[in-house]
């Protein structure tokens, strides 16, 4: 009995050229997206004098430590208050919004009730409406109940995620009905089935919803601009903008704004790096079965 081995396919010159072109394109795109971060890092290390007199893409006298000390000491440490506000708005808002979106999407996908498709259509409509178009109606609504210039005027809109409902519905449709029926036969209620079985299957989708909502709320500028007048309630985006608007009177705020922008990026990086393992786990789950 003889065995034959499959011939080894060697890359052709054409495929090597294609790979090379793809790598060059990817490197160019990576440089394009990382260039603003590089500029931010470079200029956050400069003094106010070097910020004005030196090239924006090269280092001057290293003053990052002093800049950070000035940042956290400015106006009795108001920057830390803004950072805490952003964490509350984005962290709690994205967390609660993810749970609500998951329950709504799962309910639309797995339960048959009158008006289900109409309800899902409203969710899709919410995805298509830009946030800028909702700012004024939200302001009028909150003004009518006396909640403008409060924590709730920014937090409550942050827990609504139409895109999360859409994504949760799409992923929930892939949950095998046999698994749910087996749990019902064992006596589990719908709420227990959702939190103990469905949530585990939906983990990659829920992480995606959380990250999208977290980034959207963290970077939200228009809603705090419309809703808030009390500086102690500002998130980082609006707080740094208020400093930048005073640069003509207080030039040192230009450096603090740049350093504050660099610091404000760190929580986003930590969040992405900390949650990416759930994506990998979701992509490989069940591959060995």
- What's the pTM? 0.85
User: Count of domains in the chain?
Assistant: 1
Per-residue DSSP letter, 189: -
Domain containing residue 252: 68-281
Domain assignment of residue 42, yes or no: no
Domain assignment of residue 136, yes or no: yes
Q: For residue range 45-81, what is the model confidence (pLDDT) as tens digits? A: 998 888 888 887 888 888 899 999 999 999 888 999 9
The four Cα atoms 223, 224, 228, 234 give a dihedral, to 10 degrees, of 170
CA 38 – CA 34 distance, rounded (Å)? 6
CA 119 – CA 101 distance, rounded (Å)? 13
Burial 38-54 (b: 16+ CB within 10 A, else e): eeeebbbbbbbebbeeb
Supply 238's token pair. Answer: 């609006």
In contact, 56 and 43? CB cutoff 8 Å = yes
User: Positive or negative CA dihedral for 15, 16, 21, 22?
Assistant: positive
Q: For residue range 103-157, what is the model confidence (pLDDT) as tens digits? A: 999 999 888 888 888 888 888 888 888 888 888 899 999 999 999 999 999 999 9
Which pLDDT score is estimated for 19? 84
Domain assignment of residue 29, yes or no: no
In contact, 154 and 224? CB cutoff 8 Å = yes
Domain assignment of residue 32, yes or no: no
pLDDT category, 280, cuts 50, 70, 90? low
Task: Examine the pLDDT at 100 and tell me if it is beyond 70.
Answer: yes
Domain assignment of residue 199, yes or no: yes
Which pLDDT score is estimated for 284? 39
CA neighbours closer than 13 Å in the CB half-sphere of residue 7: 3
CA 113 – CA 104 distance, rounded (Å)? 13
Per-residue DSSP letter, 174: T
Residue 260 belongs to domain with CATH number: 1.10.3720.10
Q: For residue range 240-270, what is the model confidence (pLDDT) as tens digits? A: 999 999 988 988 899 999 999 999 999 998 8
Domain assignment of residue 242, yes or no: yes
Q: For residue range 143-196, what is the model confidence (pLDDT) as tens digits? A: 999 999 999 999 999 999 999 999 999 889 888 888 888 888 888 888 899 998
Domain assignment of residue 31, yes or no: no
Domain assignment of residue 287, yes or no: no
Q: For residue range 216-238, what is the model confidence (pLDDT) as tens digits? A: 999 999 999 999 999 999 999 99
């Amino acid at each position: 009995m003889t065995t034959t081995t499959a011939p080894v396919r060697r890359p052709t010159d054409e495929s090597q050229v294609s790979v090379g072109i793809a790598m060059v394109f990817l490197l160019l795109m990576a440089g394009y997206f990382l260039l603003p971060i590089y500029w931010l890092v470079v200029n956050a290390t400069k003094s106010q004098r070097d910020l004005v007199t030196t090239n924006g893409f090269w280092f001057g006298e290293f003053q990052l430590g002093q800049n950070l000390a000035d940042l956290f000491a400015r106006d009795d440490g108001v920057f830390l208050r803004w950072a805490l506000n952003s964490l509350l708005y984005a962290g709690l808002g994205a967390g609660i919004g993810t749970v609500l979106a998951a329950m709504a999407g799962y309910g639309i996908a797995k339960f048959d009730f009158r008006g289900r498709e109409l309800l899902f259509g409203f969710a899709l409509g919410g995805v298509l409406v830009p946030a800028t178009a909702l700012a004024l109606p939200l302001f009028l609504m909150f003004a009518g109940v006396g909640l403008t210039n409060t924590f709730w005027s920014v937090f409550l809109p942050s827990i609504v995620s139409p895109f999360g409902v859409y994504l949760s519905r799409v992923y929930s449709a892939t949950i095998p009905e046999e698994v749910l029926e087996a749990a019902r036969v064992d006596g589990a209620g719908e709420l227990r089935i959702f939190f103990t079985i469905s949530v585990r299957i939906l983990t990659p989708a829920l992480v995606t919803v959380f990250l999208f909502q977290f980034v959207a709320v963290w970077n939200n500028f228009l809603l705090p601009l419309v809703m808030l007048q009390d500086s102690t309630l500002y998130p980082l985006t609006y707080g740094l903008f208020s400093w930048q608007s005073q640069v003509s009177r207080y030039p040192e705020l230009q450096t603090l704004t740049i350093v504050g922008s660099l610091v404000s990026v760190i929580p986003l990086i930590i969040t992405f790096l900390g949650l990416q393992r759930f994506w990998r786990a979701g992509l490989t789950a069940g591959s060995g079965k």
